[in-house]
Amino acid sequence: MSEVKKITVNGREVSFTDERNLLEVIRKGGIEIPTFCYHSELSIYGACRLCLVQVEGKGIMATCSTRPESGMVIQTDTREIREMRKISVELLLANHNRECPTCVRSSNCALQDIARRLGVETIRFKQMEKMVDIDHSSPSLDRDPNKCVLCGDCVRVCSEIQGIGAIDFAGRGANAKVAPAFDQNLADVECVNCGQCAAVCPTGAITPRQDRARAWEALYDPRKTVVVQVAPAVRVALGEYFGYDPGVNVAGKLVTALKTMGFKYVYDTSFAADMTIFEEATEFIDRFSNGGVLPMFTSCCPAWIKYAEIYYPEMIPNLSSCRSPQAMFGSVAKKILPEALGCKREDLVVVSIMPCTAKKYEAQLSKFSTNGQPDVDIVLTTVEVGRMINSLGIHLSELEPEAFDMPMGFATGAGVIFGASGGVMEAALRYAVEKIENKELENVDFKAVRGMDCLKEAVLNVAGQEVRIAVVHGLANAKKLIQDIRDGKSNYHFVEVMACPGGCISGAGQPIPVEKDVRKLRAQGLYNSDKGQQLQKSQDNHLVTKCYEQHLGGTPGSHEAHHRLHTAYQNRSQLFDAKIPVMRGTAAKRLPITVTICANQENCPGQLLLGMISKYVKDKNYTDLIDLDAAFSSRSEMDGTVCVSIGDRIVERADFTNAVNTEEQLRNQKSFESVKGSIDKGIQSLK
C-alpha cells in the first residue's frame, strides 16, 4: 500500500499517495487550476504555462511537470501568478480567431472559460492580421488553424492513444503551428477520422464536421420522407448536453424531440446491431468450425477498419466482412421503407445520429450506395442533435417519452451494449455460444469482456473447445495486440477492436466529458438498459428474424443477406506513400499496379517482385494498359512479404525473398502465380 504524504495548499493540508504531479494533488484537494495542455491520459507537455503556483522556497513552478514532495507549502493564487495567467490568455486571444458566437465550441470552450475565470475583459495586444485557410477536406472533421493555441493535445492523442501521428508540430518561433505532414489537407494524410483530436482540442481548432444545415434542409423539403436512426451510445450521453448526469438513458425523450423536429419515423440502430450479430456471429462460427481465417476481428468501427486498411492490409482477410450497424440499417431501410412508407427511394432520406465522427466518413464511401444514392444520407453527432433541439427551444426534460417506431425500433439488450468496449464481443458470444452448444444460455452475462481496461482477454470452454477472445480499445493498443499476434506471442480466435477509448461512448461526437468517470457511467447506463430490455440475446429479436424471412433470403449468410449486409475492404497502405513511376501506359483506360519497396531494408523483396511484374507485363504485351508504380514506405512489412495492389484488389500475400540462388528464384516464381492471375483479371476488366 502506498505511503500517505501531505502538502499544504492555500493553508489546508492535502494528502497524496502516487499522484504523478502537483496538479493532480491540488485538484484532489478541490482546487481547479487552469490548463490547456494537460490530460491525465497523455504525456506531460507543459506548454501553456497556466498551471503555475508559488512553492515556498522554490518560487513559481508549473504544477503539471512538478512531482509532489511531502511538506511542500503552496499558494495557487497570488497577484503575480494571476497577472501572468492573464497575460498568457491575452496573448493567446490576440493570436486567436475570436468569432466566438459562431464557433462550434462556443459555451464549451476552455479558452472562453479560463478568460472568464481570470477576468480578462480587454486584450492589450494587437490582433493577428493574417488568417489562413480552414481545412474542410475531411468528411469527418474541420480544422481551423486560426483557433489553435499550440497546446499539443491533438498531436499527443493522435500519436500516443491512436498510434498514428497524422498531425504534428511544424515550424519554429512565430511560425510554429500544428498541421498534417507537408501542410497537406487532413483528408490527404493517414487520418482515420476517429476525431479524438477534436475531443481533446480545448478551443475549436479541430471540430467534428457540422451537417445540421443539410438535415434541416431535408426536413423542410415537403417532397422528402426523412427518417432517423439513433445509435446505442447516444442515449446515455445526450442528456449531459441538457444537464442530466452521465449514463442517464434519454432515448424516449429523444424520440419525442426528433418527432417534434419533423422526423417522420425514429428507429433504433440497436435493431441493426442485433442484425449485425446474426451475421457476424454466424461468420465467426463458420470460421471457427471449418478452419477459416482466424483470429476474426470485428468490423463495427469504421476508424478501426480504415486503420487496418492503411497499416495492416495483410490482416484484411481477418476482418469480419459484416457492415457496421449504421451501414446495415441504411441498406435495409433503403430496400424496405420506400414501399412501406409509400415514397420513392430517391425521396427517402436516412439520417443517422451517431457518437462517432468516423461514421460521417463511412457513410460517404461509394461502396455504401446504390446507383450513386447513399444508403445513409446524413450523419449527425450527438452534440449536433443537441444543438438542433436547443435551436427549436425544446426543453428535453419536460418531454414525455415515446417509443421507437416499429419494426426497426425493436432491439434486445445485446444490441444496446454495442456502445461500450466489449459490448460487440459480449453480444456475439451470447449468440455464438448458444448456437455452438445447441442449448439455451443459462447466463447471458460475459463480464470478462467488460470494463475500461485497454486489453481484456478470456478463454471460454464452448462445447468442449477453447475459444480465446480479446477486446481492445484505442488504436495504439490495437497495434500492440496485432504485433503480438504476428510475433506469435498471442493467439486468439475472436477479437473486438474499437478506436475510441472505452468504445463508442467516448466517440468524438459525444458531449466532451467534464469528469474522469464519465466513460464508466455511460457504459453502466448501457448495461442498465440491457437489463431493462425484454430480451438480452440478438437471436431472440423476432422482428429481425421476420426481416430475414421477408427481405433477406430467409437466414443469416444467405446470398441476399451477404449482398445487403456485407462488404469488402480496400488496401489503403499505399495511398499515402511516396511513389515513383516505373511504367506508364498510353491507353485511355489503364490498370494501376503498385508495389511497396521498403526504403530501409537491404535486399528488399519488393524490388524482386517489381522486376518480375515488369517482365511479365512486357512479355504479355500489356505495357500500353499498365501504370506501374514503386511506393517507398516507412511502414514495417511482415518478414518476406510484399504489399502489392492491382487496381482496387489486394493480391493474396505470398512469400518473396531476395533472389540469391536458383532454388529461391523458383520458389518466388511459384508465389508469383497469384500476382499474374490478378493482373490478367484486371486487364480483362478493362476490355
pLDDT on residue 657: 56
Q: How far apart are CA 24 and CA 63, in angstroms?
A: 8
Could you give phi then psi for residue 387, rounded to 5 degrees?
-70, -35
Is residue 508 within 8 Å of residue 383, measured between CB atoms? Answer: no
- β-pairing verdict for 373-374 and 369-370: antiparallel
Residues 6 or more apart whose Cβ sits within 8 Å of residue 43: 156, 160
pLDDT on residue 650: 67
The string of DSSP letters for 49-85 reads --SEEEETTTEEEEGGG----TT-EEES--HHHHHHH
Q: How far apart are CA 316 and CA 299, in angstroms?
A: 10
pLDDT on residue 154: 95
Q: Which helix (H) or strand (E) holds 574?
A: none
pLDDT on residue 257: 98
Per-residue b/e over 519-554, b at no fewer than 16 CB within 10 Å? bbbbbbbbbebbeebebbbbbbbebbbebbeeebee
Residue carrying the nine cell digits 470494463: 451
Across the 687 residues of the chain, what is the mean pLDDT of every consecutive 10-residue run? Answer: 84 90 92 87 84 93 92 93 90 80 81 86 77 94 93 94 94 88 90 96 94 97 97 98 96 98 97 98 97 97 96 93 98 96 96 98 96 96 97 95 97 97 98 96 94 96 96 97 94 98 96 85 97 95 97 94 95 82 93 80 75 92 93 60 74 54 58 84 86
Q: How far is CA 532 from CA 303, 521, 528, in A?
A: 30, 16, 6
SS3 460: strand
Q: How far is CA 188 from CA 124, 136, 220, 424, 507, in A?
A: 39, 12, 34, 31, 22
pLDDT on residue 636: 55
Which among 313, 317, 278, 310 is positioned nearest to 296, based on CA atoms?
Answer: 317
pLDDT on residue 570: 86
Q: How far apart are CA 348 and CA 449, in angstroms?
A: 39
Count CB atoms within 10 A of the CB of residue 161. Answer: 25
Is residue 335 within 8 Å of residue 564, measured between CB atoms? Answer: yes
In this prediction the pTM is 0.88
pLDDT on residue 660: 47
DSSP character for 293?
Answer: S
pLDDT on residue 665: 56
Domains of the chain: residue spans and CATH: 5-77 (3.10.20.740), 89-205 (3.30.70.20), 213-565 (3.40.950.10), 578-686 (3.40.30.10)
Written as nine digits, the cell of 53 is 503556483
Is residue 302 within 8 Å of residue 361, measured between CB atoms? Answer: yes
